[in-house]
């Protein structure tokens, strides 16, 4: 008889990478015949076919259970999870360092600090860790984790990306040069650097180019306002903040984009890079945190934060058909490493290996 596996996370939110990974792994384990429970402290939606149990009371968890905990933020659940008597697996998604938020929101600073304290608290309490990148694994090593650790990329439900993109957005992107960056509006994403590089590209190479910043500013309104002021101060035109949008509109931005520009400083994995690979969008990205690891030799990596260099490279990729096709081919090759079948197989093998080593 297979042991019960409880998938647990602090916040379940539609469109969030951590939530999507948690749901995908839960479905996989359920389909594999495990008895499963899905548990969240704060659930803002209920995935189809999944009953979400509140994490307010964890008394239903038995010593014979295995809890797979998605660690990504500051919450009291970090500590309550750590005190459980059952076997504990941490799925580590990384925690954005608090200094990124210091000038914008004390609430997020406090949450990040609490997240790091919680992660350190769990260092001697986890039985096993599955990190979404080696960058994250090294993070845990620095926090003095000594339990067995493996790396497995985020499990992406690529079937969802076959939905029909929003026609209105897609039609609006025809016959134009459209640069995109996707990701929540947050200081660690360095949207200002994306805007500055685009400013020089627009100034020196393509005055009619457009930049679409696809992401939700909720909770980061001071940073968002700063970005709006920066756009106005530069005098750059055709910069479009989408705000929170339906999934079909996000698909349309990928389907219609000519290039994805990522200047983020801190990423534990960076799902938008894989999404761009899927939609054959060439990627230009700053080599920071886990970005280079996720690209795995594909795309173009920027070693320095030089907006003029980024603008020149953007122009070269967009003008040189041969180079662009080579980049896309290399990205497709890298995309195979993230195929649902490959990651699902790895996930089941890791879980079975861990469980086989535990006493029933």
Q: Is 111 in contact with 94 (CB distance < 8 Å)? A: no
Q: Are residues 285 and 193 in the same domain?
A: yes
182 occurs within a structural domain:
yes
Q: Are residues 173 and 317 in the same domain?
A: yes
Q: Strand order of the sheet with strand 36-43?
A: 52-54, 36-43, 5-12, 66-71, 87-92, 128-131, 149-151
146 burial (CB, 10 Å; 0-12 / 13-18 / 19+) is: exposed
Q: Which of 88, 123, 151 is the last residue of a domain?
A: 151
Q: Which residues pair with 283 in a beta bridge?
A: 260
Predicted local confidence at residue 358, as pLDDT: 82
Which among 41, 65, 38 is positioned nearest to 52, based on CA atoms?
38
Q: Are residues 52 and 194 in the same domain?
A: no
Phi, psi of 255 (to 5 degrees): -65, -30
Q: Are residues 135 and 220 in the same domain?
A: no
pLDDT, tens digit (0-9, with 9 covering 90-100), for 279-315: 999 999 999 999 999 999 999 999 989 999 999 999 9
Q: Which of 151, 178, 193 is the last residue of a domain?
A: 151
352 occurs within a structural domain:
no
Tell me whether strands 149-151 and 300-302 are parallel, antiparallel or unpaired: unpaired
309 occurs within a structural domain:
yes
Range of the domain at 138: 5-151
Distance CA 303, CA 296 (A): 15
Q: Are residues 246 and 189 in the same domain?
A: yes
| Tokens 């996707």 found at | 182
Q: Which of 96, 116, 151 is the last residue of a domain?
A: 151
Q: Are residues 168 and 77 in the same domain?
A: no
Parts of the chain with a pLDDT under 70: 1, 359-360
Predicted local confidence at residue 359, as pLDDT: 63
43 occurs within a structural domain:
yes
Predicted local confidence at residue 207, as pLDDT: 98
21 occurs within a structural domain:
yes
Q: Is 236 in contact with 202 (CB distance < 8 Å)? A: yes
Distance CA 47, CA 140 (A): 30
Predicted local confidence at residue 269, as pLDDT: 98
Instruction: Quote the radius of gyration of the chain (alpha carbons, Å).
Output: 21
Three-state SS at 114: helix
Q: Within 10 Å of residue 69's Cβ, how many Cβ atoms?
A: 26
Residue-wise over 303-328: b if at least 16 C-beta within 10 A, else e? Answer: eeeebeebbbbbbebbeeeeebeebb
Q: Is 290 in contact with 267 (CB distance < 8 Å)? A: yes
- For residue 213, give the H/E element and its range: strand 210-214
Q: Are residues 178 and 287 in the same domain?
A: yes
Q: Which token pair is 343? A: 């990651």
Q: Are residues 175 and 144 in the same domain?
A: no
Three-state SS at 178: strand
343 occurs within a structural domain:
no
Q: How many domains are there within the chain?
A: 2
Predicted local confidence at residue 279, as pLDDT: 98
Three-state SS at 44: coil
Q: Are residues 147 and 169 in the same domain?
A: no
Q: Are residues 252 and 331 in the same domain?
A: yes
Predicted local confidence at residue 159, as pLDDT: 95
Q: Are residues 146 and 182 in the same domain?
A: no
- CATH number of the domain within which 253 lies: 3.40.50.2000
344 occurs within a structural domain:
no
Q: Within 10 Å of residue 152's Cβ, how many Cβ atoms?
A: 17
Predicted local confidence at residue 38, as pLDDT: 98
pLDDT, tens digit (0-9, with 9 covering 90-100), for 76-112: 999 999 999 999 999 999 999 999 999 999 999 999 9
Distance CA 314, CA 128 (A): 42
Predicted local confidence at residue 273, as pLDDT: 98
In sequence order, the 6+-apart residues with CB closer than 8 A to the CB of 237 are 202
349 occurs within a structural domain:
no
Q: Is 301 in contact with 287 (CB distance < 8 Å)? A: yes
Q: Are residues 332 and 185 in the same domain?
A: yes
Q: Which token pair is 345? A: 């197989």
- For residue 272, give the H/E element and its range: helix 271-278
Predicted local confidence at residue 3, as pLDDT: 87
């Amino acid at each position: 008889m297979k042991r019960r596996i409880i998938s647990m996370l602090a916040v379940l939110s539609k469109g969030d990478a951590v939530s999507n990974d948690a749901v995908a792994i839960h479905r996989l384990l359920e389909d594999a015949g495990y008895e499963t429970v899905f548990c969240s402290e704060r659930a803002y939606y209920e995935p189809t076919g999944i009953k979400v149990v509140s994490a307010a009371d964890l008394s239903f968890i038995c010593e014979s259970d295995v809890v797979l905990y998605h660690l990504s933020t500051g919450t009291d659940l970090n500590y309550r999870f750590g005190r459980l008597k059952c076997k504990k697996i941490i799925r580590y998604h990384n925690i954005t360092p608090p200094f990124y938020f210091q000038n914008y929101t004390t609430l997020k600073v406090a949450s990040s600090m609490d997240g790091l304290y919680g992660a350190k608290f769990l260092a001697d309490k986890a039985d096993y860790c599955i990190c979404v990148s080696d960058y994250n694994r090294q993070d845990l090593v620095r926090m003095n984790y000594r339990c067995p650790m493996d790396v497995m990329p985020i499990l992406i439900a690529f079937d969802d990306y076959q939905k029909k993109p929003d026609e209105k957005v897609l039609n609006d992107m025809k016959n134009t040069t459209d640069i995109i960056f996707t990701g929540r509006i947050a200081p660690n994403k360095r949207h200002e650097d994306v805007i500055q590089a685009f400013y020089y590209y627009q100034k020196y190479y393509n005055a009619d180019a457009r930049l679409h910043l696809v992401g939700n500013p909720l909770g980061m309104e001071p940073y968002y306002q700063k970005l709006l002021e920066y756009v106005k101060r530069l005098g750059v035109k055709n910069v479009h903040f989408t705000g929170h949008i339906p999934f079909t509109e996000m698909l349309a931005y990928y389907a219609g984009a000519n290039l994805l520009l990522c200047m983020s400083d801190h990423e534990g994995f960076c799902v938008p890079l894989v999404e761009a690979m899927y939609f054959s969008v060439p990627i230009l990205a700053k080599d920071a945190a886990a970005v280079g690891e996720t690209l795995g030799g594909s795309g173009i990596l920027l070693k320095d934060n030089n907006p003029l260099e980024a603008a020149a490279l953007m122009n070269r990729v967009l003008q040189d058909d041969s180079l662009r096709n080579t980049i896309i081919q290399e990205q497709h090759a890298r995309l195979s490493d993230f195929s649902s079948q490959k990651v699902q197989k790895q996930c089941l093998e890791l879980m079975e290996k861990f469980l086989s080593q535990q006493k029933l």
